[in-house]
Amino acid sequence: MPVLFWTDILIWTLLVLAVLFAVYASHREHLRAPWREVARSGVAMSAMVVLAVYIVIGLLDSIHYRPAAQSTADATEAQYSGETLSVLDRLVSGLRAQGEKTYSAPFALQLYSKELVESPDGTQSRQYPRLQYGGAHLTGPGERAGDIAWTAVLAAAKAIVLWGLVCLVSGALVARRRGQTVRGAVAALFGDRNAVNGRAVLLTLLLVAVVAWVAMDLSAKYHILGTDKVGDDVFYQTLKSIRTGLVIGTLTTLVMLPFAILLGLMAGYFGRWVDDMIQYLYTTLNSIPSVLLIAAAILMLQVYLDNHAAEFSSVAERADLRLLFLCLILGVTSWTGLCRYLRAESLKLREVDYVLAARALGAGHFTIIGRHILPNVMHIVLITVVLDFSGLVLAEAVLSYVQIGVDPTTHSWGNMINSARLEMAREPIVWWSLAAAFAFMFSLVLAANLFADVVRDAFDPRLRTSG
Amino acid sequence: MSAYLVRRLLYAVPILVGVNLLTFLLFFVLNSPDDIARSQLGDRRVTEEAINVWKKSHGYHKPVIHNAEAEGFGKFTETIFFDKSMKLFVFDFGQSDSGRDIGHDISQRMWPSLAIAVPTLVLGVLLNITFALLIAFFRATYIDVWGVVLCVVLLSISTLFYIIGGQFLFSKLLHLVPISGYDTGVGAFKFLLLPVIIGVIGGIGSGTRWYRTIFLEEIGKDYVRTARAKGLRETRVLFVHVLRNALIPILTGVVVLLPLLFMGSLLTESFFGIPGLGSYTIEGIQRQDFAIVRAMVFLGSVLYILGLLLTDVSYALVDPRVALR
């Protein structure tokens, strides 16, 4: 039975909007030109491949359903289990199910802590018990290094073969369109004369494919990033956290955009008392320290949720509502910057000749704003959206640490860091949860930052003229 | 100038009223005082009596915004809104929900916050300007390209990583400084060292990149061309002419931050166990102490508005072209 969470609906809406925008932009030369520049940039294309991987994982994790329960023979209607799963859970069901008892290091064969074990001859001793799943196919620790290396090499080889096929197929497609030989087309893909920087895309794709495949094959046999306190696989947790990060980074902007655009343009275009009111509104909101505003809002939501627990059918639904609310409140605190830029820009545009001409021809105010001003500030909106993304992903971790972030039951990097932080004092230290969360967060944020920089340079006309 | 200042100060009043109304709405519209009492007392099935006792002892027993039973002005003053929100205007923060005097706590705890925030800011700005000048000097070379890439890498790392990693490296592995804690007087130095260093390092990425943009913007201006045309060396152009002019946006960018230094840093203080206002806020949030959160929201807004005012004044002071009327 499919389940629709609020954030799922919004995230798919956002995807549809993005596709629509892409179609719209592809028909307009002034929008295509900057994107062509982005496409030629090697850094941007490499970053985009990485981002695409994250996005695909996030989208897979945004299709939820309730699996059918083991139905008894005489059940008249289908029974569904109370647990909500996503397509991603289904794909990596091995990771989800293979829990250990408690901590274990990456690739470990044994548990992190000693336990009382009864030997076959009846004597009891304290030792590190073998893991239930991690490396269970091995007879002893001596075989481990060889097994890991062999599995990794095999997986990498598969990935390289697949990647070679992708190169050939795309080369063949290009060759057919341009009437070249396949060999020439493949060589051209790696050349410098493409509209899209093929070399960057393909090489990043190779890297991503090898890493993903090796991780996939190894994680079937080992806990490649270890397990956490209750024995859950850390790799699974980081994969699940991707969705939370993406939701916060994108939905926040989605909810703030309408307000920021409408109010910013109105303030600049109408001036006078409208301007005063809107300026007052955003100065007021801006003057509240954002962490405190978020804290106050989340605290109040928590009180509300505590007192109305009965209205939610599942914990996951509650957690989802909290995630959505967090996006809303983050949006409230972050729209003011964009609003101010747009106000300043539309103040300028109001006096431009074509706007004056439109007004002289009798166009209404909202026609002018919609048809003449809005298209000319879209580059600012776009730049803000891509620049804000990485900051929001980082903010989620900080907020979750202060316990005003996502629900503690939601998988997120902030929650992972928060729960692992306390284990730093142990000896030997439990580092893998922290390392995994930081590494995944870092690669997402870095890719987003690099991509955003190129997009900004391509779209900001001021920077373009000054070289 | 004084007329301008008075006008700006008067303009701050409606903003603060707005902040107050907003926080008040946030706290009392979604949830009634009864709900708050219930969640503070913990149990969903607490008795009506216990709720009333809690409300009475914390001053939540009055009507929310309009008291029909009271006489005259009492209709408005004998309410939660007046008690909890309007009194903030004379900096009467009242008592926290756990019964401590918030005003006294704040005056005690702002000093440790400043002891961390001021050196972090000063060192950070100096270091960032140095790096940015260096990168600007080698602009359009590989040093520039890789410098910017390094900045992007640095600013893509979570603050939490800098703090946790720093604590692990310097305190746990090298045993150079204590992991956390605080002391009064000179003894505080060894506790402050690590938070300040980590604060500075954590800010290098974004700071250097931002100052580099400012420098590059200045380098494109006419007076730089004139300076070069009259035969000045590149070092002199950059370190004397450009630096002095670039200091205007840098200075005003720093001034806006000054008042907020009082608020301290939430993360640094709570990780290093420093009894400043940042950790005070976090404790308030984690104990769900609404009085503290409300007081800090108000204090933060006042300081923010003060920062905006100081920015305008500092513009007028350093840039003779700007006159405040």
CB spacing of A289 vs B18 below 8 angstroms: no
Q: How far is A391 from chain B (nearest CA, A)?
A: 9
- Is the CB of B155 inside 8 Å of chain A's CB atoms? yes
Beta bridge partners of A86: A64
Q: Choose the weakest-confidence range: B86-95, B126-135, B137-146, B159-168.
A: B86-95
The residue-averaged pLDDT of B3-10 equals 81
C-alpha–C-alpha distance, residues A95 and A97, integer Å: 6
Chain B residues 76-115 with CB within 8 Å of chain A: none
Q: Quick check: A73 pLDDT over 60?
A: no
A190 in Cβ contact with A206 (< 8 Å): no
Lowest mean pLDDT, pick from A166-180, A310-324, B27-41: B27-41
Please report, rounded to a whole number, the percentage of residues in chain A having pLDDT higher than 90: 0
Least CB-CB distance to A295: which of B152, B220, B285? Answer: B285
Mapping DSSP to helix (H, G, I), strand (E, B) and coil, where does residue A61 land? coil
Q: Determine the average pLDDT of the residues in B236-258.
A: 83
Measure in Å the smallest separation between the Cα of B39 and chain A Cα atoms.
Answer: 6
Residue A65 has pLDDT above 60, yes or no: yes
CA pair distance A405, A399, nearest whole angstrom = 5
A466 interface with B at CB cutoff 8 Å:
yes
Q: How large is the angle between the packed helices B142-155 and A432-459, nearest 10 degrees?
A: 130
| Whether pLDDT at A71 is above 60 | no
CA distance A190 to A199: 4
Higher pLDDT, A8 or A75: A8
Select from B161, B170, B209, B279 the residue whose CB has the most chain A CBs within 10 Å, as the one to mutate to test that interface: B161
* Encoded amino acid at A131, one letter: L
Residue B175 pLDDT level (bands cut at 50, 70, 90): confident
Contacts of B85 in chain A (CB under 8 A): none
- Any chain A CB within 8 A of the CB of B181? no
Please tell me what DSSP assigns to residue A126. Answer: E
CA-nearest residue to B26 within chain A is: A297
**A431-465 tens-digit pLDDT:** 788 888 888 889 998 988 888 888 888 887 665 44
Tell me if B288 and A417 make a contact (CB, 8 A cut-off): no
pLDDT of residue A465: 40
Q: Please, which pLDDT band fits residue B77 given cuts at 50, 70 and 90?
A: low
What pLDDT sits at residue A467?
Answer: 35
Among A12-16, A96-100, A418-422, which stretch is predicted with the lowest mean pLDDT? A96-100
Average the pLDDT over B185-211 and give the result: 82
Helical axes A315-349 vs A290-307, angle rounded to 10°: 150
Residue with the bigger pLDDT between A94 and B104: it is B104
Of B15, B23, B164, the CB nearest to A283: B15
Q: Which of residues 190-229 of B touch A (CB under 8 A)?
A: 220
| Inter-chain CB proximity B281 and A291 less than 8 Å | yes
In this structure, the number of other CB atoms found within 10 A of the CB of residue A43 comes to 17
Strand, helix or coil for residue A169: helix
Q: Do A289 and B167 touch (CB under 8 A)?
A: no
Helices (H), A224-271: 234-270
Chain A residues within 8 A of B160 when measuring between CB atoms: 397-398, 401, 417, 438
Q: Angle CA(A298)–CA(B159)–CA(A45) in degrees, nearest 5?
A: 100
Please tell me which of A89-103, B64-78, B131-145 the model is most confident about, judged by mean pLDDT: B131-145
Q: How far is B34 from chain A (nearest CA, A)?
A: 10
Q: What is the rounded average pLDDT of the residues B179-195?
A: 75
How many CA atoms lie within 13 Å of A182's alpha carbon, on the beta-carbon side? 8
What is the value of pTM for the model shown?
A: 0.84
User: Which ipTM was obtained for this model?
Assistant: 0.80
Residue B291 has pLDDT above 80, yes or no: no
Query: For the residues of A61-92, what is the DSSP string, one character each?
Result: TT-EE-PBP---TT-SS--B-S--EEHHHHHT
Q: Per-residue confidence at A338, pLDDT binned at 50, 70, 90?
A: confident
pLDDT tens, position by position, A100-159: 777 777 777 677 777 666 767 777 777 777 767 666 677 776 777 777 788 888 888 888
